[in-house]
């Protein structure tokens, strides 16, 4: 046996020994169940209220989706200048008929003067216009208007901004005030924001995965060390693919998460065939701009 071969064999043996030793002592920890995630069929979440049916993240959209029978909404939140939590995705207001500006630089009263129903994406994916004015919605208003619906909340303000620094504590206090802790999932693309929020929540609120947590889980899944992955969150809300290269929607990955008591929700799914495919693979949630289609798929299942 040559020198290189001996080295290769030694490395392989060491790897096998490491795997065996960690397998013997490591026990993957399933996440404790959360009330918000206890359901007996795949759920439908209207993405921003169902943004291909009505102006996104307005009461028109939320009311329309609720009337269709959705299980809840997927929304984004930001903090205003006067520290009110509003339901909005972009950093800047640039799709209104009256003006534009940065959400964090405007008060709630200023934002309420703008028409958020002026422009939206229609059924063909094109920008459309409607004359009916719609004002911005606060998170508190949404909790009050739909007291029984599940809401997935994405904190959009970056953690290194003033408003981002305040958001976790402001959100926690609002959840307490509205008694909404058991019907929400709190998440962010920034894992740091999720960790900050959980300093207040102490795992009493369902948490969604940030980008780093998804990367950590998928890396473990594709390695020999699946048993070393212990999740910090309760649900993965993810796209089907990461960067159009890595498939996050395989049956085996969904099963890997399910074994850890982590349901997989997929966004943003508007095609009925894709919805059926994901549900057949074990997906527990469909986030969609077309809640009318998704509800039909669920009701026919």
| Per-residue pLDDT band at 11 (split at 50, 70, 90) | very low
| Nearest-angstrom CA–CA distance, 297 and 175 | 32
- Judged against a pLDDT cut of 50, whether residue 20 lies above it is answered with no
What mean pLDDT do residues 110-127 have?
A: 77
Tell me the pLDDT tens digit for each residue of 234-259: 999 999 998 778 999 999 999 999 99
What are the chain's domains?
34-300 (3.20.20.190)
What mean pLDDT do residues 277-300 have?
A: 97
Give the residue among 289, 275, 238, 292 at the shortest CA–CA distance from 42: 275
What confidence score (pLDDT) does residue 275 get?
Answer: 98
- Tell me whether residue 35 is exposed, middle or buried, using C-beta atoms within 10 angstroms of its C-beta: 0 to 12, 13 to 18, 19 or more: exposed
What mean pLDDT do residues 131-145 have?
A: 93
Tell me the pLDDT tens digit for each residue of 143-174: 999 999 999 999 999 999 999 999 999 999 99
What confidence score (pLDDT) does residue 28 get?
Answer: 67
Beta bridge partners of 78: 86
What confidence score (pLDDT) does residue 19 get?
Answer: 42
| Nearest-angstrom CA–CA distance, 206 and 39 | 14
Longest Cα pair distance anywhere in the chain, in angstroms?
A: 81
What confidence score (pLDDT) does residue 25 get?
Answer: 47
DSSP per-residue letters across 174-226: HHHHHT-GGGEEEE-SSHHHHHHHHHHHTT-SEEB--HHHHHHHHHHHTSS-G
What confidence score (pLDDT) does residue 14 get?
Answer: 42
Exposure string over 17-28, b if 16+ CB within 10 A, otherwise e = eeeeeeeeeeee
| Nearest-angstrom CA–CA distance, 296 and 140 | 30
What confidence score (pLDDT) does residue 17 get?
Answer: 43
CB 177, CB 100: distance < 8 Å: no
């Amino acid at each position: 046996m040559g020198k290189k071969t001996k080295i290769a064999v030694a490395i392989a043996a060491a790897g096998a020994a490491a795997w065996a030793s960690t397998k013997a002592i490591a026990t993957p920890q399933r996440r404790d169940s959360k009330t918000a995630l206890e359901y007996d069929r795949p759920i439908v979440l209207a993405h921003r209220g169902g943004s291909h049916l009505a102006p996104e993240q307005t009461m028109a959209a939320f009311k329309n989706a609720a009337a269709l029978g959705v299980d809840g909404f997927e929304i984004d939140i930001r903090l205003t200048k006067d520290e009110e939590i509003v339901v909005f995705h972009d950093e800047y207001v640039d799709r209104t008929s009256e003006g534009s500006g940065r959400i964090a630089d405007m008060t709630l009263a200023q934002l309420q003067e703008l028409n958020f129903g002026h422009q939206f994406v229609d059924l063909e994916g094109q920008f459309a216009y409607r004359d009916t004015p719609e004002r911005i919605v606060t998170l508190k208003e949404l909790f009050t208007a739909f007291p029984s619906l599940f809401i997935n909340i994405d904190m959009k303000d970056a953690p290194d901004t003033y408003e981002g620094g305040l958001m976790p504590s402001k959100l926690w206090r609002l959840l307490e005030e509205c008694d909404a802790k058991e019907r929400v999932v709190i998440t962010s693309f920034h894992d740091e924001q999720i960790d900050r929020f959980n300093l207040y929540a102490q795992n009493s609120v369902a948490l969604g995965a940030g980008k780093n947590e998804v990367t950590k889980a998928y890396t473990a899944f594709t390695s020999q060390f699946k048993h070393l992955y212990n999740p910090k969150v309760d649900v993965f809300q993810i796209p089907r693919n990461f960067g159009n290269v890595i498939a996050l929607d395989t049956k085996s990955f969904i099963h890997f998460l399910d074994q850890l008591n982590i349901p997989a929700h997929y966004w943003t799914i508007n095609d009925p065939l894709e919805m059926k495919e994901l549900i057949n693979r074990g997906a527990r949630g469909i986030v969609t701009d077309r809640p009318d289609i998704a509800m039909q798929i669920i009701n026919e299942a």
